[in-house]
Amino acid sequence: MKEFGQKHNKVTKNNTISPPEPVLRVSPWWLSPGASVTLSCEVEHVSAGWSFYWYKAVPDLSHKSGSYSYELLPASSNGTADNSYIIHGQTHTAGYVCRAGRGEPHFYTLYSQPHFVWSGDLHPSASLSVSPDRVQHFTSDSVSLSCEGNSAEWRVSRFLLPDFLSFCSDWGTMNGSTCHVQKIQSSNAVYWCESGSAFSNAVNITGHYDDELLLLSPVHPVTEGHSVTLGCKLRTENLLSKVFFYQNDTIIQSESRVEMIIPAVSKSHEGFYKCQSSGKESPQSWLAVTSTSRLDSSSFPVLVVGPVCVFLLMIFPLMFYFCKKSKDSSSIRLVLFRFY
């Protein structure tokens, strides 16, 4: 497990000071439509003269322990005088690294530990699914994390909030493209898949002790107009008494049912949810809602190309028919002319 945090310079056996390791900050952690991502590179005892270099972290699956290669981001080859860097238009999960340098010849710091910005949106090239499909789990639960997409080799990564990165080989068993976890750690963590060229969507999974009350909510964002079912569960009881459901700390249902069904989700349903029953209260989890306008914009080419193709398939035979008919008619007129 790799620990993230500020590290002081170390004195080697030769009484030389080892290069400092900068700390990279990423804001925000979770992507939202249209939002930019800001990277900040912090160097201990910062002073004038530093240039900052910014990199994209590319998964390197050749090392079982988990590592990354680094690719310079645009306009970063000569370094930036500012210790912050803004990325526009980021839509997928991604990892970043920074380092600093100064002087002639250039003295470089170490590379920072990689930090990530996450997207919950599913993508065909790389996607992560969870079974059972929920955010909150008991620590005694077994969970499967499955990777799908355009790759034959995967690894599953976990960022244990606030600042620990590890991989399936540290806390589970990787079998093909699926990571099997026998017991979920009592924690709040983000999981995602990595191939040699891509990151999948990320999911938030929390582990809770067996005597706690859990909210059952989907791990992936829900699309507008779709239905969603929320539940409330105790490890020791299959049937709960009266259950209260809350959205953003406001009660929205108090019935004897252990489930709450929202038949058609809208953006107004996005928020933090929790439930209460039997004198217990569950932790809260975020329910994300994906706007249909985002899906419509991505499917626009399909909607346009489809009718055009159908039109062309219909018109081509007619064009061929009239063209052939016109040619035959011309041949007849030519024969008649010669005859006369």
Q: Is pLDDT above 50 for 336?
A: no
- The stretches of the chain forming alpha helices (DSSP H) are 168-171, 292-339
The arithmetic mean of pLDDT across residues 95-107, rounded, is: 91
Longest distance between any two alpha carbons in the chain, whole Å = 113
pLDDT, tens digit (0-9, with 9 covering 90-100), for 139-168: 999 999 999 998 989 999 999 987 899 999
pLDDT, tens digit (0-9, with 9 covering 90-100), for 211-222: 999 999 999 999
Q: Is pLDDT above 60 for 240?
A: yes
Torsions phi, psi for 101 (to 5 deg)? -150, 155
pLDDT band at 294 (very low <50, low <70, confident <90, very high): low
Query: What SS3 class is residue 180?
Result: strand
Q: Could you state, in order of their start, the residue ranges of all structural domains in the chain?
A: 23-117, 120-210, 211-292
The arithmetic mean of pLDDT across residues 83-97, rounded, is: 94
What mean pLDDT value characterizes the chain? 82
* CATH topology for the 23-117 domain: Immunoglobulin-like (2.60.40)
DSSP state of 269: G
Is domain 211-292 classified as CATH 3.50.50.60? no
pTM: 0.80
Q: Is pLDDT above 80 for 233?
A: yes
User: Both tokens of residue 98?
Assistant: 């920074």
Is the C-alpha dihedral spanning 259, 268, 206, 135 positive or negative? positive
Task: Work out the percent of the chain whose per-residue pLDDT is above 90.
Answer: 59
Domain formed by 120-210, architecture: Sandwich (2.60)
More confident residue, 296 or 91: 91
The arithmetic mean of pLDDT across residues 181-209, rounded, is: 93
Look-up: residue for tokens 């983000």?
190
**For residue 198, how many other CB atoms are within 10 A of its CB?**
20
Fold agreement between 23-117 and 211-292: yes
The arithmetic mean of pLDDT across residues 111-130, rounded, is: 92
